[in-house]
Amino acid sequence: MVLGATNIEAYLKVFGGAAAVMGRYANRIANAKFTLDGVEYKLAANNGKNSLHGGPRNFSKVVWTGKPCVPPNQSNPFVELTYVSKDGEEGYPGNLTVKVKYTFTENNELRVEYEATTDKATPVNLTNHAYFNLAGGGDALDHELWLAADKYTVFNEELIPTGEIASVKGTPLDFTTPTRIGARIDQLKPKPGGYDHNFVLDSNGKEPVLFARLSDPKSGRVMEVRTTEPGVQLYSANHLKHAAVCLETQHYPDSPNQPKFPSTILRPGETFKSTTVFAFSVMK
């Protein structure tokens, strides 16, 4: 149900990060720079003049250290991946230690837990960029989506937030009732070519809250998503002819340059924590 390939070479060439962790800052930072504690930091630009998903050598392009873990009771084994992002990598300050824990539970849930610490103040925004196609092939335009989100962050032509938060009512972004992905997608062409929008979620940041239900009427497969994050990027795989749907749980794009958005700054002595749960079932 996630886009892939028959071998690692083809996977890296065609998908280049599908289902990978994105960081140090998922999504976009305007003009590839930000100012923190009076210091301007210049980042690696890889999306025009902007930085996307942490730069050209982001967390999906590096080798993580992995270890499988089996709890004493043998239930819910998990894999833990660790990566240390050195001070100055892609322009970001501080040595950042990141851990991502993947657990497949007995309830058919894939639980993704993120944790990070730093020795210097730095922005942190992590997500998983899985390209889901519940049908197992073809496009995903007939998938139905429900989103518990009645607001989104308005962006400019470069997909950089303007700072405005607007209602989805009366727009193609209204998924507050289950709607086909392809029902109104033509209204978003030629730019951005489909869905590539950040939705505002009602999350307390502590316990994962249900915000999305994606279903495929043909196969009967259903995926529900819960998260502790305040936002989610809905991306309809526009560069892959809408072959999948991404639900990238995250903080808002360009938050380091948007003081009214929830802060993404992690400081020494603090621990970044985030959880997203993908739960799978079939239609009743």
- In degrees, rounded to 5, the angle at the alpha carbon of residue 256 between the alpha carbons of residues 161 and 189 is 20
Catalytic-role residue among 90, 144, 229, 248: 248
d(CA 182, CA 159): 21
The tokens for 89 are: 């990598």
CB distance 154 to 172 below 8 Å: no
Of the candidates 158, 130, 151, 149, the one whose C-alpha atom is nearest the C-alpha of residue 257 is 158
Of the candidates 282, 229, 281, the one whose C-alpha atom is nearest the C-alpha of residue 251 is 229
What does R_g of the chain's alpha carbons equal in angstroms?
18
Catalytic (active site) residue 90: no
Catalytic-role residue among 129, 143, 197, 251: 129
Catalytic (active site) residue 157: no
d(CA 117, CA 30): 24
Burial group, residue 24, by CB count within 10 angstroms (0-12, 13-18, 19+): buried
Cα–Cα distance list, 230 to 28, 97, 220 (Å): 16, 22, 29
Peptide bond into 71 cis (omega under 30): no
Of the candidates 4, 48, 1, 50, the one whose C-alpha atom is nearest the C-alpha of residue 28 is 50
Active-site residue set: 129, 248
